[in-house]
Chain A
């Protein structure tokens, strides 16, 4: 039994029809670390993150998570981690507050309205938390996704282009979230921004 989370990815391949998206990717990372996955568009960064979270099946290879509760498959890990990606959507007709409320309850967290409002204020959505998300700008939607991904204080944070569409305040928020989790947990980050690679990349994995 280990007391900190370790992710092991060995020889992972993913094939769509005839196109090989990932061929033989291997790496490992453990809690207290932040891993930056870099690479050109179409190099398979997002696919790799989805495979690690158990959101996409792999064609061959293996992904395992060593946690305090023993070895878990990516699918078992799915509900324990926080995941933000441009591929996530939101419910256009619900407000930011309703989003947070619904997902807190889906995770069976007992959070009162004041806690939820406080969280949303922290994410810079204090003014507009009762407006429908469909009217939000892409930056505001990104903030909602970040709030949803961290509401259960996960030990593992998987971020796919987290700073896209965000202003300077938003980027600062992402920075805080990453540092917070990386202190005790594991952060996986896919990005193309040189500045972010330099800032968070204790370990840099290049997919080319």
Chain B
């Protein structure tokens, strides 16, 4: 069997295991979605009867996405370390496979969370503008968040999983991404066209590539004790 199909088989096995486990632990994914809902509720009644402009909406939206992401993205590695199953993975799978598996899982989680936040935000806040473009920006941005956080989640899981550690460590890494995502969201909320933010979109699309390349170089040092 050639090497590539081997990588593929083990990657699928890892992902399947993660999804099966997640589906059986019903409350885990549910609690993350509830966290997003609670944050949105706070934002919604705090804003109340005011009519914030596009810039404020973009800011509130990304604050919600950032903190929801931070509360959910660490879990992939943390649960392996806490259940002491991480060693089983070290014994059986290559570091690259583990990284890719956890990255794809994180990306899937973020897509689900983002979609919920996006839909709820429209319902609760009555925003208008280029909403489809906003969704695209949010998906690209959260994909970048998942890519930038996966390596850090592995670090945090080995550092004893202090809850505050992941957002503190992730913000510097994600700051360029967040600045661009907030601005692109503002333009979309003002009714802008994709043509007005080609540079921003190009940045959002290339950030995951850069950060994953660097992560793959470093992950082996994190994963192997």
Q: Do chains A and B touch in the complex (CB under 8 A)?
A: yes
**Taking beta carbons and an 8 Å cutoff, which residues of A are in contact with B?**
50, 53-57, 75, 78-79, 81, 83, 85, 87-94, 98, 101-103, 105-108, 110, 132, 148-149
**A94, B224: Cβ atoms under 8 Å?**
no
For the complex, what is the distance from the CA of A132 to the CA of B225, rounded to whole Å?
Answer: 30
**For window 54-92 of chain B, which residues contact chain A by CB distance below 8 Å?**
83-85, 87-92
Q: Count how many pairs of residues, one from A and one from B, have CB atoms less than 8 Å apart in the complex.
A: 78
Chain B residues within an 8 Å CB radius of A92:
83
Instruction: Say which residue of A79, A93, A110 sits within 8 Å of B91 (CB atoms).
Output: A79
A106-B92, A108-B1 as given contacts; A89 in contact with B84, CB under 8 Å: yes
Besides A55-B225, A89-B83, A89-B87, 14 more A-B contacts (Cβ < 8 Å) are A53-B91, A78-B91, A88-B88, A89-B84, A90-B83, A90-B88, A93-B25, A101-B13, A102-B17, A105-B9, A105-B10, A105-B13, A110-B1, A132-B24
User: Which of A56, A90, A102, A107 has the most chain B CB within a 10 Å cutoff?
Assistant: A102
A88/B87 in contact, CB under 8 A: yes
Q: Which residues of A contact B46 (CB under 8 A)?
A: none
Nearest A residue to B81 via CB reads: A89
> In the complex, which residues 93-120 of chain B have their Cβ closer than 8 Å to any Cβ of chain A?
93-94, 97
Contact of B10 among A75, A85, A108 (CB under 8 A): A108
Given contacts A55-B225, A83-B91, contact A91 B13 (CB under 8 A): no
Q: How far is the CB of A177 from chain B (nearest CB, A)?
A: 16
Bound: A94/B17 CA distance, A: 8
Known contacts: A91-B21, A93-B24. The answer to whether A103 contacts B90 by CB under 8 A is no
Q: Is the CB of A148 within 8 A of B88?
A: yes
A153 to chain B, nearest CB (A): 14
Residue of B at shortest CB range from A90?
B85
Most buried by B among A90, A91, A98: A91
Q: B10 touching A107 by the CB < 8 A rule?
A: yes
Question: Do the beta carbons of B90 and A78 come within 8 Å of each other?
Answer: yes
| Measured CA separation A56–B24 after assembly (Å) | 32
Do A106 and B90 form a contact, CB below 8 Å, given A54-B224, A91-B21? no
Question: Within the complex, what minimum Cβ distance (angstroms) separates B43 from chain A?
Answer: 34
Give Cα distance in the complex from A53 to B9, angstroms.
25
Contacts of A50 in B (CB 8 A): 225
25 A-B pairs within 8 Å (CB atoms) are namely A55-B87, A55-B90, A79-B91, A79-B94, A85-B87, A87-B84, A88-B84, A88-B85, A88-B88, A91-B83, A93-B21, A93-B25, A94-B20, A98-B17, A101-B13, A102-B16, A102-B17, A105-B10, A106-B10, A106-B92, A107-B92, A107-B93, A108-B9, A132-B24, A148-B88
Residues facing A in B1-38 (CB within 8 A) are: 1, 6, 9-10, 12-14, 16-17, 20-21, 24-25
Collect the chain B residues with CB atoms within 8 Å of residue A110's CB.
Answer: 1
A203 and B170 CA atoms in complex are apart in Å by 50
Contact B87 A102 (CB under 8 A): no
Q: Roughly how many angstroms separate A102 CA and B97 CA in the complex, as a whole number? A: 13
CB distance from B149 to the nearest CB of A (A): 23
Nearest first, the 10 closest Cβ-Cβ pairs linking A and B are: A89-B84, A105-B13, A108-B6, A93-B24, A106-B92, A89-B83, A106-B93, A106-B10, A89-B85, A102-B17
CB-defined contacts of A132 to chain B, threshold 8 Å: 24
Least distance between B52 CB and chain A CB atoms (Å): 43
Q: Identify the closest chain A residue to B83 (Cβ).
A: A89
Contact of B85 among A81, A83, A91, A149 (CB under 8 A): A91
